Each structure stands twice: as structure tokens, then as C-alpha cells.
Structure 1
Amino acid sequence: MSPPSTVPSVSEEVLVSFPKDHVLLLTLHRPKSLNALTPQMTEDLRRVLNWFEDEPSLWVVVITGSGRAFCAGADLKAWNRDEQNGKPMSPETILSNIHGFASISRRESIKPFIAAVNGSSFGGGTELILNCDLVVASKDASFGLPEVKRGVIAIQGGIPRLSRIAGHQLASEMLLLGKPVTADDARNRFGFVNVVVPTSDVLSAALDLASQIVANSPDSVQSTKKALLLAQKHSNEETVSAHVRGPETLGNLYGDNIKEGLRAFNEKRTPVWQNAGTRSKL
């Protein structure tokens, strides 16, 4: 698959590439600053990810960082300069960013997000990871939510998601102490890392997971992701079941891909999927 021709333009702080069919790779690219997020990076990511949501040929996004860190969170030096210059960040500014930190930490996308964590991650960087569907981490990766040490709060989505994943006491350990945890602890104790690999293998392992996803029907994947989002919001099992049984979900599933899946099974071959929502004209 050739890259889409309508890719939004971005600054040099975010690298956009297409390493595999149907896969978008976004690389945070401020290695000297440990990929700390700037307003420009946020705008770049917002623009590309909004486009990704509407681009039918892209089914999965992988996010990683350049250099020895994944993301050090917000650029605190810039934040401090703004505070000293009488330009404090207001609660309204934070709340108006509906998709959260890096335009990811509160984003509700029906397409899968994979984090390829190649080193340390702090603050908003960890919050955006907590909102990804799959997380691959290097053995030397670390994850921290040190907001309490800076007089702020993990308000960009980290608190509810970590509490839901890890439970109250373990979430409190990260959020109230502000101490980082290792990749092994993030996987074995806290439960928000799927795979731990050598640093050199992080991106290839994440892209392998992306390949496994795009080997499946995008209609099924996206309907399942939507059900997972509903399950996070609602304790009522009937709400999630209603989505799965609803006309929108069933309408999406009963397109060309369900027919292809059944044909491929009977013909003992690999399915050739179409973009989600594809229906052949009669």
C-alpha cells in the first residue's frame, strides 16, 4: 500500500511514516529534550491524528520517541517561562483540549493505538501510554507520574485509567508517591504494559503487533474497540451488549469483510480485507 496522498504537514518535531500496510507510525522527535511536548508538537499530533481517524486506509497507529526517551511529559522549562511571564496555563486551557495530552491521553478512537516505549516516560507521556490499547516497553524503560512533586495533578486522563487498570492501591503508589516504576513492574504489578523486550527490539515488536491487528477484519477490530471503550465507561453489561447487537455495529460487520472472512475460511486461505465499511455495489 502506498502512503496516502493527503498527509497533513507537520513540523520537524513529529516524524510521520508508514512502515507497513495500513499502519501509521508517529515519532516524537525532540531527542535532546527527551521528547518533552511543546504546543507545536501537540498541534502536529492533533492534526495528524484527526486525519488518521478519517483516513479509511489506515487501521492502526504506533507511537514512539526518538533517542533515549519516549516522552518526558510537558516541557516544564517552557511552562515555567510562561508562568514567570504572566501567561499561566489555565484550567480552561487544559479542559478545552478534549483529546488530552499530546492529543492522545483522552482520545476515544475506535482504531487501535500502540505505544512503543523506548525509554523513560513521565507525566503526560505516561498518561498517553495509559490510553493506548497495547504497550511494548524496552527492558530499561521507566514510567512515572511525578505531578505531585511539581505541584500539579495527572489530570489528562492518567488517574481514572491507572486506577481502572491497576486498582486503587497500586494506582496510589504511583500517583501519591510520584516515584517511577520499571518496565517489569509496569507489566507484572501494575498491568499496563503488554510486552517487555530489549531496547533494539521495541519498534519491531510494536510493528509486529500492528501487523497482527491488520491481519484481522478492520470492521471487527473497530467495532470491538468501540465496545471496549463502552465497557470502560459503563458497568452495565447491557449497555455494551446493546452496542454489539445494535444496528450500527451489525451494519458495519455485514459488509464485504464478513463475506470475505467466511469465503477465506472455506477456501483455506488468508483473507484479503477491504477498508472498514466497504460494501460492493450491486
Structure 2
Amino acid sequence: MMASIQPPHTSEQLLVSFPAEHVLLLTLNRPKQLNAMTPQMQNDLKQVLNWFEDEPSLWVAIVTGAGRVFCAGADLKAWNNDQQSGVTDEQEGVVANVFGFGSISRRQSKKPIIAAVNGGGAYGGGTEMVLNCDYVVAGDQAKFALPEVKRGVIAVQGGIPRLSQIAGHHLAAELLLLGRTITAAEAQGRYGFVNQVVPASEVIPTAIAVANEINKNSPDAVQATKRGLLLSQEYGHSQMLLAHAFASECRGVYKGDNIKEGLKAFTEKRAPRWTNPSKL
């Protein structure tokens, strides 16, 4: 199955692989620069993730980084060169970039995305990417920071609302206004945006295991549930608005083939054999 699909061509800054059935693995590949984001890497991520959204045989994506750090954020040296030369159109770029930093930090994907945070962790925009993933596996030595204020910058690519939603106003303010660095254990226990902390050597295997566990479930139901989570962020506790907005996804699931297979497998006391979902 995996051999038959052809992802978009990417530069050497992004590695694309398929470590398990229905699973896409994206590896940021600028290890000497701590995977600091470039326009080329961001465009690579955008092209592949847009393709992933429409590829029915891929159900879960994992994002990680090569080398010592998941992603150190923006390339500040390049940004400084732009600032010093008078290129100051960052605001326009942020508004135009609908998917956010790394094409992930504001992306509302219909499919689960797992962050596998290796090595030294994620900083700035790298942390904003992590905050918008659905499941986060971090190495036990990983650290996280939103240090934008220390450089006269703002975590405007999605970090502010996502962290506030996850951790609450006061803990979000602690990270965002002080620009302090926290450990993976703190990110899991105090701030609540890391699901698992594991030894560094286990980050990728654990992320793949989580993807495989998700894929034991109906992909129709998983994708519709993901949509429900996104709608809940938008509509909050308004059950009526949520039910109205969520109606088309529910109809798609209940009229699809996988619900029939799931119920039949239950009555026959066997594991279900899911097929690629129809477009919900």
C-alpha cells in the first residue's frame, strides 16, 4: 500500500517516510541549524501536509526533527538580516500564512498529527507547532520555550490562543510574558500539552505505536471526532451550535462502510477490518 502512493517532491530540508501502514512520518532535516524554519522547509511542509489531507490511505501524521532539536523556531539570523535591511513585512506574512508556523501551528487538519519531540526540545515557533498537534511524545531531556518576548517578537502564529486554552490564562502568561524554558516533565504535569515523556531513544517508536493504536479505530470516526474537537474550540460549550456544525460529519460516518464493519466485527467477536474512509 505505501509503495503505491507518491508524495509531492520536497527539498532535502524535509524527509518523508512511511514507518507503518497508514502512517506518514515527516522529519525536519536541518540538524546543524537545529531545524530552524526556512521558507523552503515551510513550503515543503505545506505541500506534503496538503497532500496528506487528501490522501485517503494515510490516516495519521508524525512530525519530528533530525539531530539534537525538534525545531528551534524561526531562523533569527535571516530575520535579523531582513530587519537590518529594512524588510519589515512580517505582519503581512503572518496574516497570509493561514496554516501558521511550519504550516502546522494554525492548521486545522481533519486527521491526527503527532509531535515526536526529540533531543533538546522545541523553541519559539517549534513550540507553537507542538501546541497545535493532537498528541505529543517528548524525550525526557526535551525542553520547551516561547521566548519571543526576549527578542522583541510575539508568539503570534498560534501559540498564544492554544497555550491559553490548554494551560489557562495564568500558566500561559508565565511562559509567554517571562519567556522561560520548561522541561518535558513540566510541560506534561503542569502545563498539560505533553502526553508522554519517554527516553530519547523511544520517542519515534512510541509515536509510531500511538499512531498504530489510533489506526486500530475506524478512520471515519477518528477524523469526524477530530473535527468535533476543532469545532469545540470554536463554539465552546454551546451544544446546539456544535451539534449543528457537526451534523454533516456525523451523517458521513453513519452512512459509511466502516460503521457497518465495526458493528459487524463486534457481533462476530473479531477485530474490524477498516477501509479507507470516504470524504466526510
Q: Same fold, TM exceeding 0.5? A: yes
In the other structure, the counterpart of 1:66 is 66
Q: How far 1:278 sits from its partner (Å)?
A: 7.7
Unpaired stretches in structure 2, ≥5 consecutive residues: none
In the other structure, the counterpart of 1:180 is 181
In the other structure, the counterpart of 2:131 is 130
In the other structure, the counterpart of 2:21 is 21
Letter of the 1:205 counterpart: T
Letter of the 2:60 counterpart: V
Letter of the 1:241 counterpart: A
Letter of the 1:250 counterpart: R
In the other structure, the counterpart of 2:211 is 210
1:1-56 CA distance string (max 9 Å, x none): 32343310000000000000000000000000100000000000000000100111
SS of equivalent to 1:132: coil
Is 1:237 the counterpart of 2:243? The answer is: no
Q: How far 1:248 sits from its partner (Å)?
A: 4.0
Q: How far 1:83 sits from its partner (Å)?
A: 1.7
In the other structure, the counterpart of 2:115 is 115
Letter of the 2:264 counterpart: R
Distance 2:264 2:112 in 1: 26
What does residue range 66-105 of structure 1 map to in structure 2 within 5 Å?
Answer: 66-105=66-105
The alignment's TM-score, normalised by the length of structure 1, stands at 0.96
1:206-248 CA distance string (max 9 Å, x none): 111100111110100011000000101112122223344x244
Q: How far 1:253 sits from its partner (Å)?
A: 3.0
Unpaired stretches in structure 1, ≥5 consecutive residues: none
In the other structure, the counterpart of 1:162 is 163
Distance 1:137 1:248 in 2: 32
Distance 2:175 2:102 in 1: 21
Which has the larger displacement, 197-206 or 85-94?
85-94
Aligned residues of 1:230 and 1:239 also touching (Cα < 8 A): no
Which has the larger displacement, 231-240 or 18-27?
231-240
- Following TM superposition, where does structure 1 have runs of at least 4 consecutive aligned residues deviating by more than 4 angstroms? none
Q: Report the CA distance shift for 1:278/1:271 in structure 2 as closer, same or farther (over 3 A).
A: farther
Letter of the 1:159 counterpart: I
Aligned residues: 278
Aligned residues of 2:115 and 2:137 also touching (Cα < 8 A): yes
Q: How far 1:266 sits from its partner (Å)?
A: 1.2
Aligned residues of 1:117 and 1:137 also touching (Cα < 8 A): yes
Letter of the 1:157 counterpart: G
In the other structure, the counterpart of 1:268 is 269
SS of equivalent to 1:187: helix
Distance 2:277 2:81 in 1: 46
The alignment's TM-score, normalised by the length of structure 2, stands at 0.96
Distance 1:274 1:208 in 2: 20
Aligned residues of 1:243 and 1:249 also touching (Cα < 8 A): no
SS of equivalent to 2:3: coil
Letter of the 2:268 counterpart: E
Distance 2:262 2:99 in 1: 34
RMSD of the alignment, in Å?
A: 1.4
SS of equivalent to 1:3: helix
Letter of the 2:130 counterpart: I
Distance 2:4 2:61 in 1: 14
Percent same amino acid among aligned pairs?
A: 60
Distance 1:192 1:112 in 2: 15
Letter of the 1:240 counterpart: L
In the other structure, the counterpart of 2:153 is 152
Letter of the 1:148 counterpart: V
Distance 1:56 1:77 in 2: 39
Aligned residues of 1:257 and 1:278 also touching (Cα < 8 A): no
Q: How far 1:263 sits from its partner (Å)?
A: 1.2
Aligned residues of 2:224 and 2:249 also touching (Cα < 8 A): no
Distance 1:231 1:247 in 2: 15
